[in-house]
Every structure is written in C-alpha cells, then in structure tokens.
Structure 1
Amino acid sequence: MTALIAGIVPVFILIAIGYGLRKSDFLPDATWRPIEKLSINLLYPGFLIPAIWDADLSGGSAGAAGGSAVTAVLIVGALTLLAKPLLKIDGPAFTSVFQGTIRWNSFVFLPVIQSAYGAEGLALAAVMIACIIPVTNIACVAVLARWGADQRGVSPLALTRAMLANPILVACLTGLALNFLHVPPIPGISDTLKLLGGAALPLGLIVAGAGLSFAEVARRKWTVAGVTVVKLMVMPPLMWGLCVLYGGNELAQATALLCGAAPGAAAAYLLARQMGGDAPLMAGIVALTTVGSALGIPVALALFHLA
C-alpha cells in the first residue's frame, strides 16, 4: 500500500514543477500553448494507441469500468441540471459548474493508474476514456449552447465533427479497432508510438501544472468549493459503487474509483472560453480540484485497499 501511494507522489510533483515554471516565467507564456498542442495531438495518441492495442480486453471488466464511468457522469450531470434553480449564479457560471462536476483530467488520471496498476490498469483506463469523452462533450456543449453567454445552437453534425477532431478520442478508438481486429505489432510504427508515448505523461503533467490558475478561487470560494466537493467526494464512490454493481473485478473497481477522483479538465477552460462560459470560474475549479486530488487520490486508494 505504501508503495502504491508513493508511486503517485511523482505525479503531483511534476504538476507542481509545471506550476512553478509558469509562475517563475522560466518559459514565456506564449510557449506553453504549443507545448500543450504537441502533448494532446501527438504524444498522448502515441501513448494511448499501443496501450489499448496491446491490452487484454477479453474479460467483462472493461465493460463494467466503462459503463460505471458513463452512468456516473449521466447521474451527476442530471442532478446538477436539477439543482440549477437553487444555485444563485448566472448562466455562464452554471456552465462552468456543470463542466466542473462531470469532466476530468486524463493528463492526471492516466499516470496515476500507470503508477498504481501498470499496463493492465492503463488498458481499462483507456477504455473508460473512450466511453466518457463522447458523453461529456455532448452534454457540456449542449449546456454551453443553452446557458453560455453566446447561446449559439450547435448542430449534431458540428458536434460530431468536433468529437472526431478530438485526438484523444480518435486515439482510443484507433487502439480499440486495432485490438478487436487482432492486428499484430507493426515494426517501426509500434516502436515509434511507444517512443512518443514515453514523453506523453511527464510532459502532460508539467503542462497541466503550468495551466493552473488560483486567482478566482478566493473570490468565488463557495462555488468553487461546492463543485470540488461533488467532483472529489461524490463522484469517486459513485463510480466505484456502479462498477461493483456492474460486476467489475477488483482492478476495474480501483480504476473506476480513481477515475472519479481525477481533477477537473483543463480542456473545460478552453471550451468555456470558446462558447461563452465563465472561463475564470472554470480555471478556479480546475485549480482547486487538482490540489484536492493530490490529497484525495491517496486517501481513496488507501481506503479501497483497506476495505
């Protein structure tokens, strides 16, 4: 148990290094966006494709893990919508609250799973990502189209194009297709993907840290704290319980628990900025949930293995 938790510590150290590099102006602000683009569009696909391609998905646990993630997102998203009349916030702020409760950061989730459960855990995690991305994208874009400042309608075709342009989703689907078709490793290509993937996790964590902004946390502390409680205290046991209900094995249950405990997604900030959401509030939610997950993930892992 101590070794599992110790393996997670470097994940958050790298996030802290990224935050320190950004705050110290070690690299100019304009540099971080191209690094983020490189990570998302090239390095992370290089990591995900072989992880799923080589995985043993013959058991039923992958379905239980993916199903629990999707069901938990739908439940929390529906409850957040029902709670909207009770929240004393405007429409754009509500869109950030909604995104904060259901979206999560794969840049943090994947290295945590790799540290704790190795390649087998990564395969389940990648399946969960492939299941969740379409659901969260559709829900968040719909909410932003309805309550964002722009209130622009989004056609089903435009939404489909946006999802198919998501490199992480495309990488997951590519890996699954190669796995299901039993395509053997391709000399040269497989090795190249694994070399790219080796750089994905450390650089992704540094980029995640560099993107953190705490300016809005103090100014809107109750809203940010409320979303953080839902994200880090409600979502993990809900996702774990659903995985148990769906018959997932111990590894699937642990993966579901850690998926629920992952912090808010930095991509949610970009979507809020693009579609008239409350981008500063979204940045504050991502920052506090990231700090909270540094404490919550080891606790969740310890409680799971003591149960």
Structure 2
Amino acid sequence: MIPMVAGVMPVFVLIALGYGLRKSDFLPDATWRPIEKLSINFMYPGFLIPSIWGADMSGGGAGAAAGAAVAAVIIVAIGTFAAKPFMKIDGPGYTSVFQGTIRWNSFVFLPVIQAAFGEKGLALAAVMIASIIPVTNILCVAVLARWGADQRGMRPLALIRAMLANPILLACLIGLALNFARVPFIPGVTETLKLLGSAALPTGLIIAGAGLSFAEVARRRVTIAGVSFVKLIIMPPLMWGLCILFGGDHLAQGVAMLCGAAPGAAAAYLLARQMGGDAPLMAGIIALTMVISALMIPLLLFIYHLT
C-alpha cells in the first residue's frame, strides 16, 4: 500500500513543478502554448495509439471499466442538466459547471494509473479514454452551443468536424481500428510511437501545473466547491460501483475508481474560451479539483487496497 501511494506522489510533484515554473517566469508565457500543442498533437497520440492497439479487448475488464466510465458520465450529465433550473447562475456559467462535473484530465489520470497499476492498468485506461472522450466532447460542445455567450448553435456536420479535429480522439480511433483489425505491431513504427509516448506523461503533468489559476476560487467558492464535490466525491464511487455492477475485475475497478477521481481538464478551459463559456470559472474549477484530487487519490487507493 505505501509503495502504491508513494508512487503516485511524483505525479503531483511534477504538477507543482509546472505551477512553480509558470509563476516564477522561468519560461516565458509564450512558450507554454507551443509545448502544449506539441504534447497534444504528437506525444499523447504516440502513447495512446500503441496502448489501445495492443490492449486486450476480449476480457471483461476493459469493457466493464469503459462502460462504467461512460455510464457514470451520462448519469452525472443528466443530473447536472436536471439541476440547472435550481442554479442561480447564467448560461455561460452553467456551461462551466457542466464541463466541470463530467470532464477529466487525462494528463493526470494516465500517470496516476501507471504509478498505481503499471502497464496492465494503462492498457485499460487507454480503452476507457477511447470510450469516454467522444461522449464528453459531444455533450460539452452541445451544452456550450446552447448556453454559451454566443448561443449560435452548431450544425451536426460542424460538430463532427470539431470532434475529429481533436488529436486525442483521432489517436483513440486509430488505435481502436488497428486493434479491431488485428493488425500486428509494425517494427520501427511502434517503437517510434512508444518513444514519443514516453515523453507524454511527464510533459503533460508539467503543462497541467502550468495552467493552474486560483484567482477565481475565493470569489466563487460556493459554485466551485459544489462542482468539486460532484466531480471528486460522487463520481469516483459511482464509477467504481458501476464497474462492479458490469462485472469488472479488481484491476478494472481500481482504474474506474481513479478515472472518477481525476481532476478537471485543461481542455475544458480552452473550449470555454472558444465557445463563449465562463472561462474564469472554468479555471477555478480546474484548480480546486486538482488540489482536492491530490488528497482524494491516496485516500481512494487506501480504501481500494482494503477491498
């Protein structure tokens, strides 16, 4: 148990390093966006494609974990939608609340899984990502198109184009296609992808830390605390319980549990800026969920270890 929790600690040390680098101006602000672009477009696809390509889809673990993640997201999305009439918040603010409850940070999730469960856990995590990213992106874009500041809506074809422009989603689709077609690993190609992928996890953590902003947390603490409660107190046991219900083994349960405990996604902030959401509120949600996640993940691993 202690080695498992100790293995997770470097994840949050690297996040803190990224935050410190940004705050200290060690790297100019203008450098962070190109680093993030490199990571999202090349490093993360380099990790995801071979991970999904070589994942065992025949076992019950992958299907149960992926099904639990998708089902939990849909349940929480319906609950957040049903609660909207009772929220004293404008449309753009609601879009950030919605994104905050269902989107999660794969930059943090994957290194945590690697530290806690190793390569077998990473394979399951990759399958979960391939299943959940299309669902969360479609739901969040639809909500922003309806309640964002512009409220211009989005045609179905434009929505599909926006989805396919996401390099993470595209990498998941490529990995799934190669897996389902039973294409064997290609010498040279697979090694190149894995080499790129080896840089994805530490780079992603530093980027996640650099993007944190706590300016809004104190000003809108009730809203942000409420979103954080749903995201990190309700979602982890919900995903865990659904995974058990769907017949997932112990490893699949642990991966599903940690998926639920991942903090808010930095991509949600970018989407809020692009589509008229409340970007400052989104930044505050991401920051607070990151801090709480650092406390919740060791606690959940302790509980998981006892089961």
**Residue in 2 aligned with 1:210?**
210
Instruction: List aligned pairs for 1:1-307, cutoff 5 A.
Output: 1-307=1-307
How far is the alpha carbon of 1:54 from its aligned partner?
A: 2.1
User: Structure 1, unaligned stretches of length 5 or more?
Assistant: none
Separation in structure 1 between the aligned mates of residue 29 and residue 101 of structure 2, nearest angstrom: 28
Separation in structure 2 between the aligned mates of residue 265 and residue 254 of structure 1, nearest angstrom: 20
How far is the alpha carbon of 1:181 from its aligned partner?
A: 2.1
Cα shift readout 1:5-61 (whole Å, capped 9, x = no counterpart): 111000000000000000000011010000000000000000111112222222121
How far is the alpha carbon of 1:184 from its aligned partner?
A: 1.9
Separation in structure 2 between the aligned mates of residue 118 and residue 225 of structure 1, nearest angstrom: 32
Separation in structure 2 between the aligned mates of residue 184 and residue 235 of structure 1, nearest angstrom: 36
| Runs of 4+ more than 3 Å apart | none
Farther off after superposition, 175-184 or 279-288: 175-184
Separation in structure 2 between the aligned mates of residue 53 and residue 275 of structure 1, nearest angstrom: 33
The alignment of Structure 1 onto Structure 2 pairs a total of residues equal to 307
Separation in structure 1 between the aligned mates of residue 51 and residue 74 of structure 2, nearest angstrom: 27
Separation in structure 1 between the aligned mates of residue 189 and residue 59 of structure 2, nearest angstrom: 27
Separation in structure 1 between the aligned mates of residue 285 and residue 161 of structure 2, nearest angstrom: 28
Cα shift readout 1:177-218 (whole Å, capped 9, x = no counterpart): 222222222121111111101111001100000000000001
Preserved CA contact (<8 Å) 1:51 1:119: no
Preserved CA contact (<8 Å) 1:134 1:163: yes
Cα shift readout 1:151-181 (whole Å, capped 9, x = no counterpart): 0111111111111111111111211222222
- CA RMSD, Structure 1 to Structure 2 (Å): 0.8
Cα shift readout 1:105-160 (whole Å, capped 9, x = no counterpart): 00000010011111111111111111111111111111111111110111111111
Cα shift readout 1:61-96 (whole Å, capped 9, x = no counterpart): 111111111110011011111111111111110110
Separation in structure 2 between the aligned mates of residue 115 and residue 269 of structure 1, nearest angstrom: 27
**Secondary structure of 2:216's aligned partner:** helix
Separation in structure 2 between the aligned mates of residue 257 and residue 202 of structure 1, nearest angstrom: 22
Preserved CA contact (<8 Å) 1:14 1:206: yes
Separation in structure 2 between the aligned mates of residue 260 and residue 111 of structure 1, nearest angstrom: 14
TM-score of the pair, normalised by structure 1: 0.98
Could you tell me which amino acid in structure 2 is paired with residue 224 of structure 1?
I
User: Structure 2, unaligned stretches of length 5 or more?
Assistant: none
Separation in structure 1 between the aligned mates of residue 240 and residue 282 of structure 2, nearest angstrom: 26
Separation in structure 1 between the aligned mates of residue 31 and residue 188 of structure 2, nearest angstrom: 31
**Secondary structure of 1:83's aligned partner:** helix
Separation in structure 1 between the aligned mates of residue 249 and residue 152 of structure 2, nearest angstrom: 43
